Amino acid sequence: MEKNHFKEIEVNREINEECAVVGVFNNSDASKLAYFSLFSMQHRGQEACGISSSDGNRMHTIKDRGLVTGVFDDNKIATLCGDIAIGHTRYSTAGDDSILDAQPVYARYDLGEMAIVHNGNFTNAKSVRDKLIKKGAIFQTHMDTENLIHLIAKSDKDALLDRIIDGVQKVEGAYSLLFSNESQMFAIRDPHGFRPLSLGRVGEDGYIVASETCAFDLVGAKFIRDVRPGELLIFEKGKAPKSMQIAEPTPNHCIFEYVYFSRPDSTVFGKNVYSLRKEMGRTLAKESYVEADMVIPVPDGGVPAALGYAEESGIPFNMAIVRNHYVGRTFIEPTQEIRDLKVKMKLSPMSEVISGKRVIIIDDSIVRGTTSRQIVRMLKEAGAKEVHMRVSSPQITHSCYYGVDTPEKEKLIAHNYDTPTIANYIEADSLEYLSLDGLLNSCGRDLNYCTSCFDGNYVVEPENS
């Protein structure tokens, strides 16, 4: 009974989480630049990827399951001709139709061709989809992004720009979106600016829009500014990008981008991620100092915070857990047992360094508790005398409805148990989390953040919560 219940939740879930988007406009190497940009943002999604290009007359799309380097090669990039390209990498999926759920979402409609890529989640996806289905729409994917295709195709406005505005005004939640047709590109960010989206210059007179600035660094683009919350940018040949504010900005930037999701070398919401993570570690050391012989990060996510903790506490830093970077998918159902094995495949502690020592192990977050439990066990098996777990974010107690793949809250360990019980479960000698105040102080109080995964404070009420 319970098993079926969970299956239903999985199947009904709208899929479009933890993604990266990129758009390149007015560059003869557009698809190549999109490819390299997606490669640099692979951490935001490893399940599937795709690129649509426009050559002025026609659009070309290639998408498939797998990593960017596996899906594309020189021949495929060569078929993606033209000087406009939009691309996407996607994180995870429920169900096995996942190729259908790869992006860009491409369609032919009365005005011609269009493609969309989306990072985020529409919180009213179900009701919008239900209405569309009642009116006869036929859906091919599980993705909330497909709603927009229908809204645009059915809009009674004449120009694509007006139809996009019309469609976007009917969706709610988190969206950093890129659209292209045969000759134009459009970039839009939701009024809350949940997910990042930055604008840069590339080549002679080309533009690039990407989820993270690490993409700009790889392709030699120059950062101009972030796309503003509620802003629509229109890219047309021979013109400077035109900006329209289509909704009142009410920023609520996802603080989890800083905690875990973004690459440390990216500038997100105007701030360098690595520096903030180090600061979280320093604050954590001030809040929850414990005597120990060394500070060890859970690689890679815990490294900057562990450096900050070590600097602040004066306790030596040691890279005593080695990470195997070549672990991909196991192609086996993600049962609890497989999840345990996956952690062991990925992380290996050095007993020569750890044996007989009191260690502080630092990770950026605890979700289900599987990773921490495995790591504490590994450290004890490697001879650690004491293992103190410190986490550089607060307890994750609520699901995210804005594009981070957190499980249903019943599966979040901190939703169900208090910290001493979790410490006991993960078999640590002590466990402390960074306070929400400490996190906000570390990130700077000058911005408004979405902290819903830590406090359940949903600025846009999800319809299926």
What string marks each residue from 404 to 423 as x (binds ligand AMP by CB under 6 A) or -?
xxx-----------------
Site for ligand AMP in 301-340 (CB under 6 A): 301
Active site annotation includes 19? yes
Residue 31 in contact with ligand AMP, rule: CB under 6 A: no
What's the min distance (Å) between Cβ of 371 and ligand AMP? 3
Q: Helices (DSSP H) in 135-236: which residue ranges?
A: 145-154, 160-168, 214-219
What's the min distance (Å) between Cβ of 67 and ligand AMP? 16
Q: Which is nearer to ligand AMP, 233 or 366 (CB)?
A: 366
Q: Which amino acid is at 420?
A: P
Residue 257 in contact with ligand AMP, rule: CB under 6 A: no
Q: Which of 371, 399, 442, 452 binds ligand AMP (CB under 6 A)?
A: 371
Q: How many residues are present in the chain? A: 465
> Which one of the spans 23-31, 196-204, 357-365, 453-461 is the region binding ligand AMP (CB under 6 A)?
357-365
Strand-strand pairing, 267-268 and 222-226: unpaired
Residue 180's DSSP bridge partners are: 115, 185
List the Cα angle 403/94/210 in 5-degree steps: 35
Q: Which is nearer to ligand AMP, 368 or 385 (CB)?
A: 368
Which residues lie below 8 Å from residue 383, measured CB to CB, with a gap of 6+? 351, 354, 355, 356, 357
What's the min distance (Å) between Cβ of 86 and ligand AMP? 24
Sign of the CA dihedral with 70 first, then 71, 77, and 78 last:
positive
Phi-psi region of 331 (alpha: psi -120 to 50; beta: other; left: phi over 0): left
Judged by CB under 6 A, how many residues of this single chain contact ligand AMP?
16
Neighbours of 152 (CB within 10 A): 23
Q: Which is nearer to ligand AMP, 201 or 368 (CB)?
A: 368
What's the min distance (Å) between Cβ of 254 and ligand AMP? 11
Q: Which of 99, 244, 350, 367 binds ligand AMP (CB under 6 A)?
A: 367
Residue pair 313/285 in contact (Cβ under 8 Å)? The answer is: yes
Residue pair 293/357 in contact (Cβ under 8 Å)? The answer is: yes
Give the pair of three-digit tokens for residue 372: 């921490």
Q: Which is nearer to ligand AMP, 31 or 371 (CB)?
A: 371
Q: Which of 193, 364, 384, 388 binds ligand AMP (CB under 6 A)?
A: 364
Q: How far apart are the first and last CA of the chain?
A: 21
Pairwise CA distance, residues 192 & 229, whole Å: 6
Consecutive H or E run containing 118: strand 112-122
Residue 363's DSSP bridge partners are: 391
What's the min distance (Å) between Cβ of 405 and ligand AMP? 5
Residue pair 355/384 in contact (Cβ under 8 Å)? The answer is: yes
Q: Which amino acid is at 24?
A: V
What's the min distance (Å) between Cβ of 290 and ligand AMP? 20
Q: Which is nearer to ligand AMP, 227 or 254 (CB)?
A: 254
What's the min distance (Å) between Cβ of 453 and ligand AMP? 9
Residue 260 in contact with ligand AMP, rule: CB under 6 A: yes
Q: Which of 61, 124, 180, 365 binds ligand AMP (CB under 6 A)?
A: 365
Residue 431 in contact with ligand AMP, rule: CB under 6 A: no
> Which one of the spans 4-12, 45-53, 239-247, 402-410 is the region binding ligand AMP (CB under 6 A)?
402-410
Residue 298 in contact with ligand AMP, rule: CB under 6 A: yes
Residue pair 107/149 in contact (Cβ under 8 Å)? The answer is: yes
What's the min distance (Å) between Cβ of 189 and ligand AMP? 21
Give the pair of three-digit tokens for residue 361: 């192990």
Burial of 424 from C-beta contacts in 10 A (0-12 / 13-18 / 19+): exposed
Residue 370 in contact with ligand AMP, rule: CB under 6 A: yes
Pairwise CA distance, residues 255 & 200, whole Å: 23
What string marks each residue from 142 to 181 as x (binds ligand AMP by CB under 6 A) or -?
----------------------------------------
- CA 158 remoteness from chain centre: 34
Given the residues 19, 400, 443, 450, select the one marked as catalytic. 19
> Which one of the spans 154-162, 174-182, 328-336, 370-378 is the region binding ligand AMP (CB under 6 A)?
370-378
Exposure class string for 325-346: b at 16+ Cβ within 10 A, else e: eeeeeeeeeeeeeeeeebbeeb
Residue 273 in contact with ligand AMP, rule: CB under 6 A: no
Q: Which residues bind ligand AMP (CB under 6 A)?
A: 260, 298, 301, 363-372, 404-406
Active-site residue set: 19
